[in-house]
Amino acid sequence: MATTATITLSSDIVSDTLKFSTSATLTKAGLGTALTDAVGLSRKTVAGSHAQYTLFDGDAYGDGSHKVYLKNTSTDNAEYFTIEINSEQMGKLYAGDWAFFPWEANADTNDIKIDPSDNDMTLEYMLFYE
């Protein structure tokens, strides 16, 4: 059974209404074989004092065509998660924001880390991997 990711984007920030939709079957690196393993769909609530947390350990998954889904479930517009890979800040997910991106784990330094901006925040996540 194949896993397919679909994104639909619509916007009225330009003079004409923008509508865009695309999908892709998630496959293993260099192959047409679908990814069959997944971790999640889970939630991580960072309780108490906010501190950086390793969400996925790069050493645990190795090379491959992994895909990561993250979503900040907060409704407070001031709250965000900073996302880091290999100690490089990838960006911030503010309330309601989500991300879907490829990830090559291949080393313990390629960890995916999250750093909440406040206490008691929840991140929804899932990893599709080889």
Is position 28 within any domain?
no
Q: What is the pLDDT of residues 6-52, one digit of tens each?
A: 888 887 777 777 788 888 888 888 777 778 777 778 888 877 667 78
Q: For residue 71, what are the domain limits?
A: 35-129
Task: Give the chain's domain count.
Answer: 1
Type of residue numbered 77 = N
Is position 19 within any domain?
no
CA-closest candidate to residue 54, choices 91, 87, 80, 78:
87
Q: What is the pLDDT of residues 93-111, one digit of tens each?
A: 999 999 999 998 877 788 9
Q: What is the pTM of this model?
A: 0.83
Residue carrying the six token digits 């291949």 = 106
Strand order across the beta sheet in which 66-72 lies = 37-46, 121-129, 66-72, 98-103
Is position 9 within any domain?
no
For residue 31, what pLDDT is reported?
79
Is position 3 within any domain?
no
Q: What is the domain-level CATH number for residue 77?
A: 2.60.120.10
Q: How far apart are CA 81 and CA 64, in angstroms?
A: 25
| Residue 99 contacts residue 70 (beta carbons within 8 Å) | yes
Is position 112 within any domain?
yes
